[in-house]
Structures are given as structure tokens and as C-alpha cells.
Amino acid sequence: MPGSRLKRPADTDDGENEDTVDTPETAGLYTNPVLDEDGDFDIPHRPRSKPEREVTSPVILHQSDSGPKQQDYDDEETPSMDVLTIEHTMATPLCDVGKQIWRGAFLLADFILSDPAQFAGATVLELGAGTGVSSIVMAMAAKMVYSTDIGADLLSMCRTNMTVNGHLMSGKVKVRHLDWLQTDLRIDADLDFSWTQEEVLDMYENTTVIMAADVCYDDELTDALFRTVSRLCSRFGHLCNIFVSIEKRMNFSLCTLDVACEAYDHFQRCVTHLQEDQRSFSVQKLKTDFPQALRYERVPQLELWKITANPSSPVDKEKSLQPTAAGLQLNKL
């Protein structure tokens, strides 16, 4: 209103924050509107008295220095622990997410460590093993673990991690190529990470556990995962338990214009489809209140599912092993 005193931003040059009264000569600078090049009001603002808060986000892993550090424990409180040494990347494009370590792998590893006796002496197949964390922990109890994924560089990284952590494992681990989008297992002695006929037979005859950690982030790949599980289990003549860990990640959906978890919703639809075939599959969501042995943030969005595949009938199994002109189809999923 006329005659009122106008205040201007404090002069930052002299470091004083006290308010000063504008003179008639300078008051016009703040009462006459100033427009920018787009025609919008250009209004001067008082500088913030405090700096803006730093933006933080949850961190799963911290990048370590080249050498090991002494943990901040007193001698009397130093815990007895085994340490997993994992080669991985901190951030990747979507096509290389397997080179990262995800919380779902830690959750699955904790589940294994909470009751290793249930996996003692088992033959286990991991789908989408990535860096191999879950496979390494599983090999502490299981007799044989087939750790599978795609990509020569990722499989090489996984094999390196198996070698580095070999002293922790009592069972054998074999890193092999397995592409969910293909119906054939790669059997070629000239290609690295290929299967042998003996390994294929062993996998089909003895696998009682399949596991997958945090691999349901793309609808097409999720569909391929469930198709692969169905094809594999149709070849088994015995019961098989499938453990799948998943983290619900909320994102803004352009389809619904709301916050949603579309990847998780699609996973749920796939699970529901399996449940419809009660003769072959049964599904249950497991509690995640088992002890935490690994250091990570076990957020409420982490879930663990158990799918039990009942044995195929002798007729179904016989059909899946029909000989062809090229011989027995041992390399078919």
C-alpha cells in the first residue's frame, strides 16, 4: 500500500542479514514489475538463510577402496563372520543390470542361511544368477549348483566370484549359459559356458530346487521366466521347489497416471496363472522374518515366494523325451 516500507534482500557482500529500508530511489526497483524474455514476472527473492538439504537415497552397497579396512569393533565385540568377496558394478544400463547386486539376492541368501539343512545334498538350478551371490551361499549346503545367466562378460564375472569364494563352498558350482528366450540349452564344446550332455542329464534327473533372485523387472522376461520354469518342471519326474525373491518398486505409471508397481503386478498375474493349474503347481508367499545374516536394508517391499512343482506323469515325461532324427532331445528345455 502507498507509504508502506519495502524490504529488499539482504546485501550478501558485507555478510549482514539485517533488513534495510529502501529509499524512494530504490523502491521502484521492487514495485515496478519486471518481465523476463518470456513475458513472465521476474521477481527478486531473498537468498536462503540456510543451504538446501542434501538429497539422499537408500544405498544397498558402498564402493570400497582397494584394500580391506579394519572394522570398527572392539576386540570383545568382534563378531565371527565369513566374508563374501563379490566383483560387481555400482551402476549399469538396463541391459547389464545383472552385474549389480540387488537386495532380492541378499534376501534369498538369508533364507538359505536360515535353514541350510533343507538344501543339504541337493542339486540346485539358479536362473538369472547375475554376480552369483545366491549361488555361492547355496553351495555352502547343496551338492551341486548350476548358476545360469546370459552374456559372456557377466558369466565370466560370475565364475570369478565362484573362484574367489571357493573356500566357503562345500558343494560344486558350474556357471552355465541359459537363455529364457530360447528353448535350447547350448551344447557346444567350442563355446565357453556351454552344457555337456552329462550335465543336462544330471540337471533334469536330480534338480529339486530352482531359485531366482530379483529378476522380475520386465514383463517380457517375467513371461519367459515362467515359461522356462514350466518347461523344466515338465521334464522332472520328481517334486521341485522354486524360490523367487522380488522387490516391489513403485513408479509413476503413464498408463494409470498414478504411482504403481507394474512389474510386480505382472508377476502376480503370472503367479495366479500358475495357481490355476493346481494339479501341477502350488504357490505360497513366505514370511521374511528369518534372521538377517548379510548387511543390507531389508525393506518391507522385499518378498519371497515358494512355488512347488508336482511330479510330471510318466506319460508327460515320456512325451518330452521323444527321440528325433537328430537323437534324443536332451538339449531341449
- Assess if residue 34 is contained within a domain: no
Tens-place pLDDT, residues 162-204 = 999 999 999 999 999 999 999 889 998 889 999 999 999 999 9
pLDDT band at 70, cuts 50/70/90?
very low
Please give the Cα distance from 208 to 309 (Å, whole number): 10
- Which grid cell is 330? 536332451
pLDDT of residue 240 exceeding 80: yes
- Model pLDDT, residue 295: 87
Please give the Cα distance from 165 to 171 (Å, whole number): 12
| 59-75: average pLDDT | 40
Please give the Cα distance from 134 to 126 (Å, whole number): 8
- Assess if residue 333 is contained within a domain: no
Q: Which of 291, 259, 158 is nearest to 213 (CA)?
A: 158
Domain that holds residue 198: 94-312
Please give the Cα distance from 141 to 153 (Å, whole number): 27
- Assess if residue 304 is contained within a domain: yes
User: How many domains does the chain divide into?
Assistant: 1
pLDDT of residue 76 exceeding 90: no
- Assess if residue 323 is contained within a domain: no
CATH, residue 182? 3.40.50.150
Tens-place pLDDT, residues 262-283 = 889 999 999 999 888 767 899 9
- Assess if residue 245 is contained within a domain: yes
- Assess if residue 41 is contained within a domain: no
The pTM score is 0.69
- Assess if residue 77 is contained within a domain: no
- Assess if residue 330 is contained within a domain: no
